[in-house]
Amino acid sequence: VLMEDEHVLVINKPAGLLSQSASRGDDCLVKRARHHLAQGNDPFVGLVHRLDRDVTGVCILAKTKLAARWLSRQFASRTVRKEYVGIVRRWSSEGVRLLRNTMEVDEGGTEAAAEMAVASGFRGAGSPDGDRRGPPASPLEELMKRRGVDQAWEALAEMMRAGLPSDRFTVSRMLMRTLADGRRQWDSAKINHAVALVEQFVTLQPAESDEVLFNAILDTHSRTKDIPRLDAAFQRMRDLGVVPSHVTLGILVKAYGQVCDIKKVLNLWDSMGEQRDQANAVTYGCMINACVKCSHTDKALEIFRDMQVRKKHCNTILYTTLIKGYGNEKDIVTAVELFREMSINNVPYNTIAYNSIIDVCIKCGDVTKAEAFFKEMIVDGSTVEPDLITYSTLLKGYCQDGDLDKGLQVAETIKASGLQCDELVYNTLMDGCVKANDLSAGVGLFAEMTAAGMAPSSITHSIFLRLYQRNGYKGNALDAVAQLYEHHGLDRPSGTVEKASKAAARRDVRGRGQRNRE
């Protein structure tokens, strides 16, 4: 134990120990922390991040649910800085190395990038040169550190005009920095300008082109969904004889998957056999996600089973992607089988995995099964905590079933848990009021929503238009909704919103008529 207070427990995790085990009988960090904290009770231990089994280092555990929530937000917003130190037998004299990849945790993916450099050297096996540090950073890189990446791009453009060379390591890092800045505030013009300069660099210094640099270019085109430029960059890569890696394969299948070009996705997977054999869980994740996005979930499962045969690491993210895919196909049986398989294979559950299987149950109209999974999350001893998405999904199921009372109970539970009801929660509840034909409850929820500072959207407006129409306001339903807005000090909905709301209301009426005929 490195540090402990009333909120957190900071531990130096030994190598060879799992952070969390799916089986209650197996040794793991969470189990040891519980034993450390136990004083005749079952203490809460919140695992907000993980270290791999073979990694030793600092791990922060939350001692309260509030601390777990705050720490999780810090990790999600990337305000936590993580450093890893490793010992290697050899290190090239090229200095800083750049590793880039993408983890498939959602539709857009999350960039995973690491910069590696020599911290210190020592004499020993594989280190004949003794204590030697990597070469100093290039002037262009120093400029990027001091003045920012925009100044570095201007300097690179000037260097190329003057015929001065640069290096692929610095240019790759500049492009990665630009993409990282784009996550906070996307600027298409700035990113396109950066890519144009990198492509000019490749033209002027083709010998400096390598797989890492081209992966940076391909990943940028993937993020901007510029498939023609991605195709051109990949062709240029092959023309220069740069051998693609499994990382390249992952970037390409992700890019084509985003635009649902399943033919190219499958062709790449079949034709790049060497890269496929080298693929890790991240590359497999890109392929599985692409197949699921293109509604080829059975193919995704086939690839997943191939991973298992090859003894590749099948993690929670991959299982969750498959579960979501079968949810989209309304195949609750296969989804539940995959979810239970996680425990059998010692793959840890997390909140996202539970949210995914609960969402499958709701999509398939099995609210009872969704409730059963939710109870697993909140049972004593569970390390998985429900979040706003968990409650919102359950709430949606109750409202779809017309059980407004249970939906309102979930909303109260959200507040009691210290979470904030968002617009989605209120809109779902108010849509439930439409199904229950409860105008007074809907108006009360609208008042609560506006009092919390949330402005109603066009969806909210269409919900109330339907609610008033079902309560006998036929020709004057729009006026009734406008008066509701004015009563709460809100501007009357615009003409565009009213047109969209009318269209939604007409679809609702037609849908009810169709169901009545059936």
356 three-state secondary structure:
helix
Three-state SS for 331?
coil
Residue 423: what are its φ and ψ, rounded to 5°?
Answer: -60, -35
Residue 503 scores a pLDDT above 60? no
376: left (phi over 0), alpha (psi -120 to 50) or beta: alpha
- Which superfamily does CATH assign the domain made up of 148-408 to? Tetratricopeptide repeat domain (1.25.40.10)
Q: What is the pLDDT of residue 457?
A: 87
With a cut of 90, say whether residue 398 has pLDDT above it.
yes
pLDDT at 83: 75
CB 168 within 8 A of CB 204: no
* 506: pLDDT strictly greater than 80: no
User: What single DSSP character describes residue 124?
Assistant: B
Cα(75)–Cα(72) distance, rounded to whole angstroms?
A: 5
**Predicted TM-score of the model (pTM):** 0.67
pLDDT digit string, tens, across residues 414-430:
888 888 888 889 999 99
pLDDT value at residue 231:
95
User: In a 10 Å sphere around its CB, with 0-12 CB exposed, 13-18 middle and 19+ buried, how is residue 472 labelled?
Assistant: exposed
Type of residue numbered 155: A
Question: Mind listing the pLDDT tens digit for each residue in 297-329?
Answer: 999 999 999 999 988 888 899 999 999 999 999
CA 468/CA 486 separation, integer angstroms: 16
Q: Is the pLDDT of residue 127 over 50?
A: no
pLDDT tens, 196-232? 999 999 999 999 888 989 998 999 999 889 999 999 9
Where do the CATH 1.25.40.10 domains begin and end in the chain? 148-408
Percent of the chain past pLDDT 70, that is, above it, reads 83
Would the pLDDT of 433 be above 80? Answer: yes
pLDDT digits (tens, 9 = 90+) for 283-293: 898 899 999 99
Residue 257: pLDDT above 50? yes
